[in-house]
Amino acid sequence: MQIRHRFVDRLWATALWTLVGFFVVNLLALIATVVVSSFGTRWLRSWLPADWTLRWYAAAWSEFQLGDVLLTTFQVVLAVVVLSAVFGVPAAYALARRDFPGKRLAMLLLLLPMLVPPVTYGIPLATVLYQSGLGGSMAGVILANLVPSIPFVVLVMIPFIEQIDPRVEAAARVFGAGTGRLFLHVLLPLLAPGVMAALLLVLVRTIAMFELTFLTAGPTSQTLVVALYYAVFASGVRAVQSIDAMAVIYMSVTLVWLLIALRFVNPTQLVGRSKRSG
């Protein structure tokens, strides 16, 4: 009886770990394929390319105007990060500290953009942007990316602010700190770790945000991920390897920030579920 139990247990565990292993191995191999291909000269009917080269990177850089694309990407991402902090953190503070009529409505408004897929609201939003003349411009891309980012910052920050004891602020007031100095000397240092975590997550998510940028960007306001999409979409035109080189550049940009982010946040936060929302 016991021995049978243990055997079934072992079998079940082995099956599950094999499944996980299979998934992880394929995932890593899939990523490795892109990297290997980007460094290979010719890769046909063999396990590895015939020889190694760096020339695809030079080719990709000039063919896809990666200099401009990267610059645009960083401008967009930086603007989105800064603006979502400016709008998101004060809102999170108010929602964490006050109960007011309409609070539930405000929370609903902040939750919805995270629950509705970007394509659904991205298309009407792109329509409005194009009609107001912002469509295709960098400003339009930034505005569109704020829609999921601000709620994200708010939802990450609310629990963080709630766990800061309000008596600390009261104490600062008792000792004569005005609103400005309270913010500068008391709140800012306390909030900094949470703000940084939230912004790093926004940063990683914005670099990878395809749909909204895709729907609102014009030729001069493409970010890296959208440029990559167009390159893959029109893959007959360019050498596969230079597209792969571009993919590796995109991957490195994302991974560097992901690794930085992972030093400060729990990986599950990238999935974007504020704790205990269920």
Scanning residues 145 to 204, which ones bind other proteins (CB under 8 A)? 146-147, 150-151, 154, 179, 204
- Using the rule CB under 8 A, is 60 a contact of other proteins? no
Of 31, 35, 28, 33, nearest to 245 by C-alpha is: 35
**Residue ranges of the alpha helices (H) in 103-209?**
103-115, 118-131, 138-162, 166-174, 179-181, 188-208
Shortest separation between residue 208's beta carbon and other proteins, angstroms: 4
- Using the rule CB under 8 A, is 29 a contact of other proteins? yes
- Using the rule CB under 8 A, is 232 a contact of other proteins? yes
Between residue 253 and residue 272, which ones bind other proteins under the rule CB under 8 A?
254-255, 258, 262, 267-268, 270-271
Residues 206 and 149: beta-carbon distance below 8 Å: yes
- The nearer residue to other proteins, 29 or 54, going by C-beta atoms, is 29
- Using the rule CB under 8 A, is 76 a contact of other proteins? no
d(Cα 4, Cα 147) in Å, to the nearest integer? 55
Per-residue b/e over 213-229, b at no fewer than 16 CB within 10 Å? bbbbbeeebbbbbbbbe
Q: Which of 70, 172, 208, 239 binds other proteins (CB under 8 A)?
A: 208
- Using the rule CB under 8 A, is 27 a contact of other proteins? yes
- The nearer residue to other proteins, 45 or 167, going by C-beta atoms, is 45
Count of residues of this chain found to bind other proteins when the rule CB under 8 A is applied: 97
d(Cα 107, Cα 83) in Å, to the nearest integer? 19
Q: Which of 63, 65, 70, 87 binds other proteins (CB under 8 A)?
A: 87
Shortest separation between residue 68's beta carbon and other proteins, angstroms: 19
Q: Which of 41, 120, 173, 260 binds other proteins (CB under 8 A)?
A: 120
Shortest separation between residue 98's beta carbon and other proteins, angstroms: 5
DSSP assignment of 48-115, as one string? S-SSB-SHHHHHHHHHTTHHHHHHHHHHHHHHHHHHHHHHHHHHHHHHHH---TTHHHHHHHHHHHHH
- Using the rule CB under 8 A, is 237 a contact of other proteins? no
